Amino acid sequence: MKVISTGKKLCLSCMEEHEVKRVEVQEENIFKGVRVKYTAKYEYCDRTKEYLTYEDSLDTNDLAFKDAYRKEVGLLTSQEIVEIRDMYDVSQKDFSKILGWGSSTITRYENHQVQDGVHDDVLMKVASDPKWFMELLNRAKRELTDKAYRKYLSKAKEHYRQNQNKYLKESIEADYTKYEGKSNLTGNAGLNIDKAVEVINYLAQNVPDLYKVKLMKMLWYCDCLHYKREKKSITGLVYKALPLGAVPERYEVLVLLEGIEYCEVQYDEYIGYKFKAPLDFKVETLSNAEIRVIDEVIERFKNYNTKQIIDKMHEEEAYRNTPEYQPISYEYAKSLSI
């Protein structure tokens, strides 16, 4: 028993006025066949040695009991559900509407009703994926006031911007799960996004006028040459045979990651993307052996223009023997021209 406060009042246990303690007690109970321990709050009478509930302690004790069960079986607690709703500054009723649930469902879940596993999965996805929340929000737009819709959308966009890099990484990693166990496509290496970013910046730092198409080819040559030498790629990236040569899977998301910088260059008929290393860039994850391989690729191709490196890529056995838009096997590295 832990005393949290004392106060003089009429004790409902002995029916006399005296100092009554408010205490915390560790209790144990069973919910849905699961035995759990939790902290309950009571008033305690020293004279009768009895515990009594007070004001809203019956509710708070029941909630503590249910939350202990939630933790035990891996569900969100009532407070964690409140925090998810607070992320988007959304009311209980509107949150239920956005999720397509009954109007009082969230209210019940934030109190004494324990959510099922399916609803818990939805809530966790909303917490981790504000972009998905925005999709749900747009579906429910007609059921919300315009003011509420705009407020929730603004909060979701703000949260996405603050955590964009994490969400982009998770998106790439999720897509790469389909290549698990396919070492010939990943180059016997697990996907290392941080290392991929570092290779891009190292290339941008040492190659003048590095545009996107040339960058993608040089990335492939770096991974392939390292695989040829060490039987392992540098980044674990999977490359596909596109019309202009090898391109990493999810390259369009890769170049949006934090730490990668480029500027747009307007030409007559199109916009080019010129990459540059951040001013404070320094090598942190690349090994000396990996840097030697990258330096060799730089020395070979730094003066190539876009067309020249595309033509060179098209001559590689890896490209010639891979169907268009299909992943390129690292096994072709043995016949790499460099």
Number of domains in the chain: 3
* 283-291 LR contacts (CB < 8 Å, sep 24+): 283/198, 283/202, 284/198, 285/192, 285/194, 285/195, 285/198, 286/195, 286/198, 286/199, 286/202, 286/234, 289/226, 289/229, 289/230, 290/226, 290/234, 291/202
Q: Which domain holds residue 91?
A: 78-162
| 147 and 185 inside one domain | no
Q: What percent of the chain has pLDDT over 90?
A: 89
Are residues 330 and 193 part of one domain? yes
- Given a cut of 80, whether residue 269 has pLDDT beyond it is no
Q: Say whether both 240 and 194 belong to one domain.
A: yes
Residue 143 sits in the same domain as residue 224? no
Residue 86, in any domain of the structure: yes
Mean predicted lDDT score pLDDT of the chain: 94
What pLDDT shows up at residue 26? 96
Whether pTM exceeds 0.75: no
Asked whether residue 170 is domain-assigned, the answer is no
Query: What's the average model confidence in pLDDT over 139-157?
Result: 95
Check whether residue 32 and residue 84 sit in a common domain: no
Of 114, 110, 84, the closest CA to residue 98 belongs to 84
Confidence (pLDDT) at 300: 97
Residue with tokens 């002995």: 14
pLDDT value of position 265 = 83
Instruction: Please check whether residues 60 and 125 belong to one and the same domain.
Output: no
222: helix, strand or coil: helix
For 57-116, what is each residue's pLDDT tens digit?
999 999 999 999 999 999 999 999 999 999 999 999 999 999 999 999 999 999 989 999
Amino acid found at 36: V
Q: How far from the centroid of its chain's Cα atoms is residue 155's Cα?
A: 18
Residue 268: the pLDDT is 67
pLDDT in tens, 236-257: 999 999 999 999 999 999 999 9
Contact between 7 and 54 under an 8 Å Cβ cutoff? The reply is: no
> What is the rounded average pLDDT of the residues 124-153?
94
- Pair (62, 84) in one structural domain: no
Which positions ≥6 away from 56 have C-beta within 8 Å?
none
* Contact present, 259 and 201 (Cβ < 8 Å): yes
The domain boundary residue, chosen from 47, 73, 99: 73
